[in-house]
Amino acid sequence: MPKRDNRRRRTIWVKEGDSRVVQVIDQRKLPHAYEVLDLTTTDQAAAAIKDMAVRGAGLIGVTAGYGMYLAALEAPRDGSFDEYVLRAGERLKATRPTAINLARAVERQIKAVKAASSIEEKISAAFETAREMVQEDVDCCRRIGEHGLEIVEKISREKKGAPVHILTHCNAGWLAFVDRGTATAPVYAAFEKGIKVHVWVEETRPRNQGAGLTAWELKESGVPHDIIVDNAGGYVMQHGLVDMVITGTDRTTITGDVCNKIGTYKTALAARDNGVPFYVALPSSSLDWRARDGITEIPIEERDPDEVTHAEGLLDGKIVRIRTAPQGSPARNYAFDVTPARLVTGLITERGICQASEDGISSLFPEHR
């Protein structure tokens, strides 16, 4: 990925010289300030996930993986070690319910810890498993970029080299993973190859992950983009200004129903009405092999209504919160919605592109058939 400065381009790492400290970019401060947060306990890792210092399905999973390593470090060195780690896993799992990557990371760590014999081996198994998760995340995002690039290249050829306009919602960029991201991976791959691309960034109320995070990422990498309000997505599609949509997902069912940031469903409806292809980019770690009906089976997080009734931004060098709704008006803050498989043109995975259907997914992942 192009670098404009020497700041890190990964979202999570182990502190140099002190492997008991995990460091993350504090995404609550972006795009206004770049700050690094130290995580030294499971509870700090859980709080970072809950308060969205780290967010995005992939990064939530990897942070939970490291949170379990921190649990292993702090667990009593006696017969209650495994039990302590198990309970730490429950605390991590309770932070945010929708992204399946979280529970999956915790369960994988529990298995790794249980399988090791001595306490030293258990700690080192948890550390190695967290590192494996990082590497898998990086590899998957790179391969998603390569597969998605084929679609962007095809559109670019059809347009005889004119810019390919890609619309995205929320942030499924490198900030939502360890590196490169999913929805943005084909964009970065195309940009690096010299293909002209332009991204429409839906702002993504209420927390503005599009305007704050995706726009920041693209700006830092020099990728042309424009931020639009969520409600403008339909307008730009209606006026022929969008060639394709790519979003990420927090959980996709085996039948291809896609759960993603609230508003994704409306974007998919507008795409269908305007004949714009709607792709979802995801690592298989976001596939829920047990769920079939996304609308009834995926738990949807409901967050603090204050995020809806207030807005946050920079004023005189300080991040401030202001109320935009009348005092006393109640609000509901549904954080995710489900786009039915029928509205999804294709899934871009680390193993290739498939239809959003049970047959399509099984053709790429036959071991889960």
Residues taking part in catalysis: 250
Per rule CB under 6 A, count of chain residues that contact ligand MRU? 16
Q: Answer for the pair 109, 122: CB distance below 8 angstroms, yes or no.
A: no
Binding residues for ligand MRU restricted to 190-229, rule: CB under 6 A: 209
Query: Residue with CB nearest ligand MRU?
Result: 248
For ligand MRU, which stretch binds (CB under 6 A), given 145-153, 192-200, 246-254, 287-295?
Answer: 246-254
- Closer residue to ligand MRU, CB minimum distance, 56 or 156: 56
* 37, β-bridge pairs: 24
- Closer residue to ligand MRU, CB minimum distance, 86 or 254: 254
- Closer residue to ligand MRU, CB minimum distance, 81 or 177: 177
- Closer residue to ligand MRU, CB minimum distance, 116 or 183: 183
User: Which residue of 249, 252, 267, 339 would you call a contact of ligand MRU, by CB under 6 A?
Assistant: 249
Binding residues for ligand MRU restricted to 53-92, rule: CB under 6 A: 55-58
Binding residues for ligand MRU restricted to 132-171, rule: CB under 6 A: 170
| Residue 180 engages ligand MRU in binding (rule: CB under 6 A) | no
User: Which residue of 138, 172, 246, 287 would you call a contact of ligand MRU, by CB under 6 A?
Assistant: 172
- Closer residue to ligand MRU, CB minimum distance, 57 or 361: 57
Output the smallest distance, CB 348 to ligand MRU, in A. 12
Output the smallest distance, CB 326 to ligand MRU, in A. 26
Binding residues for ligand MRU restricted to 313-342, rule: CB under 6 A: 335
One symbol per residue from 256 to 275: x for binding ligand MRU (CB under 6 A), - otherwise; what is it? ----xx--------------
Q: Answer for the pair 347, 356: CB distance below 8 angstroms, yes or no.
A: yes
Token pair, residue 286, equals 């976001």
Output the smallest distance, CB 6 to ligand MRU, in A. 26
- Closer residue to ligand MRU, CB minimum distance, 30 or 119: 30
Chain contacts with ligand MRU (rule: CB under 6 A): 55-58, 99, 170, 172, 176, 182, 209, 248-250, 260-261, 335
